[in-house]
Amino acid sequence: MNYISTRGEAPPASFVEAVIAGLAPDGGLYVPQEWPKLSHAEIAAFAGRPYAEVAAKVIGRFAGDSIDSVVLAEMCEEAYASFSHTAVAPLKQLSPGGFMLELFHGPTLAFKDVALQLLARLYDHSLARRNRRLTIVCATSGDTGGAAVEAFRGRRNARIIVLFPEGRISDVQRRFMTTADDGNVACLSVKGDFDDCQAIVKAMFQDTQFARAVDLSGVNSINFARIAAQSVYYFTAAVALGAPHRKVAFATPTGNFGDAYSGYVAHRMGLPIERIVVATNANDILARALSSGLYARGEAVATSSPAMDIQAASNFERLYFETSGRDALETGRAFAAFAARGVIDIPPKALTAMRGLFVGAAVGEADTARSILVTRNQTGEIVDPHTAVGLAAAARVGPADPRTPMVTLSTAHPAKFPETVREATGIEPEAPLNVAHLATRPERFETIGADVDAAKDYVRRFARG
């Protein structure tokens, strides 16, 4: 199984090579050369099996022979043993046809753990075999940093440095990063916003001499291993509701389009998904693109669901590539134009193909707060603001056939966003044990200005030490 770039100018790579590289060298994103298929019988056989076992089967189809299947099964076993719920991703019924898939039972209480717990183990295994040690640099608006620190801390073959915007993430989010006392973890509080952090990281990658000197690597959501790992819970949820003998619809809270695209991947592998509702907050670039055909960057605004405050959804390039008939030349042209001018006119054929599976819905701040309250009143469940966006979108759009079950992905634990939940319901969400004891652990981080050279200096020293 080889991986090719959406821009067509990178040599094919194995799964392990694509995972370690993250981004393809031509600036495109890696996708499998052909889609692996699971038969009706193979999907049906997932019913009632442990999550880690289904994960090893699904991800194994993407890894091909680049990872031994026994080793992969062990990695999945270990990765998902770190979750506090034995089902890993339990499905809860909220209404006769409405369900919620809880993806927040990992160590940092957001769905990012599902992919990063596995990704860190894939890195460790592959780097040990190659005798390499990488320096991972990660800019975070909140959840990815904590999940990455938790996944990579204490690992021999990688060190990790996270950059977060000073004062712009919640206390819980910060403490997930800064209380790790492992020697291979460093946290930088940047006097600036998330865009400053991301610009610093981008500049590090663009300085190829620096990147080579510290063996730089990234773990953001363009990494195909994260996508493969996230496609697994679409299978477990759908099979629990009667797939493949019946279709299932999903509503996915969306920022970078990684999680929603993972549903597309499951669909391409043979899972009968009726529809995926792309649920955005006020940063509605994807909802607008699906309704108007114009993928146009807007001004990013701060909302109560900060992990989705994104106006350029990296993984959209993968969908564009597929729906334009895998035309790498056209995809490269379109996304170069987007980088320069912030607009892509989606060709009619591609738009029709996108609309065959995806429907967009944008949910504003008032509706998000109302969704938290209504869910609490109608079901007794307390949900976080990202999940609330998904539930509101699912309620507005619904499945195409009213008999099709609709599963909303619940992407964070409410205790990660206590202020928003308290404002909407008057209730303080109960913090799980691992959050409660974070408050008493000492924090460790350095503060720097929004300055590329200061950050590079720090990374150089850290990589040497």
Ligand X SMILES: *Cc1c(COP(=O)(O)O)cnc(C)c1O
Q: Of these, 179, 256, 420, 425, which contacts ligand X (CB under 6 A)? A: 256
Q: Of these, 386, 406, 424, 438, which contacts ligand X (CB under 6 A)? A: 386
Q: Using CA of residue 266, residue 267, residue 270, residue 273, what is the dihedral sign?
A: positive
| Total residue count of the chain as it appears in this document | 465
Q: Which residues contact 464 (CB under 8 A, 6 or more apart)?
A: none
> What pairs with residue 295 in β-bridges?
344
Nearer to ligand X, 243 or 308 (CB): 308
Give yes or no for residue 412 binding ligand X (CB under 6 A).
yes
Query: Rounded to 5 degrees, what are φ and ψ at 198?
Result: -65, -35
Q: In angstroms, what is the minimal distance from the CB of 334 to ligand X?
A: 20
Nearer to ligand X, 217 or 252 (CB): 252
Identify whether the C-beta of residue 85 lies closer than 8 Å to the C-beta of residue 104: no
Helix (H) or strand (E) holding 401: none
Helix (H) or strand (E) holding 292: helix 285-292
Q: In what order do the strands lie in the sheet with 158-165?
A: 216-217, 134-139, 158-165, 185-191, 446-449
Give yes or no for residue 411 binding ligand X (CB under 6 A).
yes
Nearer to ligand X, 298 or 449 (CB): 298
Q: In angstroms, what is the minimal distance from the CB of 140 to ligand X?
A: 10
Q: Pairing mode, if any, of strands 294-296 and 185-191?
A: unpaired
Identify whether the C-beta of residue 280 lies closer than 8 Å to the C-beta of residue 259: no
Among 112, 247, 416, 456, the active-site one is 112
The interface region with ligand X, picked from 207-215, 243-251, 256-264, 358-366 by CB under 6 A, is: 256-264
Q: In angstroms, what is the minimal distance from the CB of 72 to ligand X?
A: 23
In the region spanning residues 95 to 124, those forming contacts with ligand X, defined by CB under 6 A, are 110, 112
Question: Between vectors from CA 114 to CA 113 and to CA 118, what angle results, nearest 5°?
Answer: 95
In the region spanning residues 260 to 319, those forming contacts with ligand X, defined by CB under 6 A, are 260, 307-308
Q: In angstroms, what is the minimal distance from the CB of 308 to ligand X?
A: 5
Give yes or no for residue 332 binding ligand X (CB under 6 A).
no
Identify whether the C-beta of residue 293 lies closer than 8 Å to the C-beta of residue 346: yes
Q: In angstroms, what is the minimal distance from the CB of 102 to ligand X?
A: 12
d(CA 187, CA 201): 13
Residue nearest ligand X by beta-carbon distance: 258
Q: Does residue 202 have an active-site annotation?
A: no
Nearer to ligand X, 67 or 139 (CB): 139
Q: In angstroms, what is the minimal distance from the CB of 116 to ligand X?
A: 11
Q: Nearest CA to 97 among 321, 339, 394, 349? A: 394
Nearer to ligand X, 258 or 332 (CB): 258
Residues near ligand X (CB under 6 A) are 110, 112, 143, 221, 253-260, 307-308, 386, 411-412
- Write out the catalytic residue numbers: 112
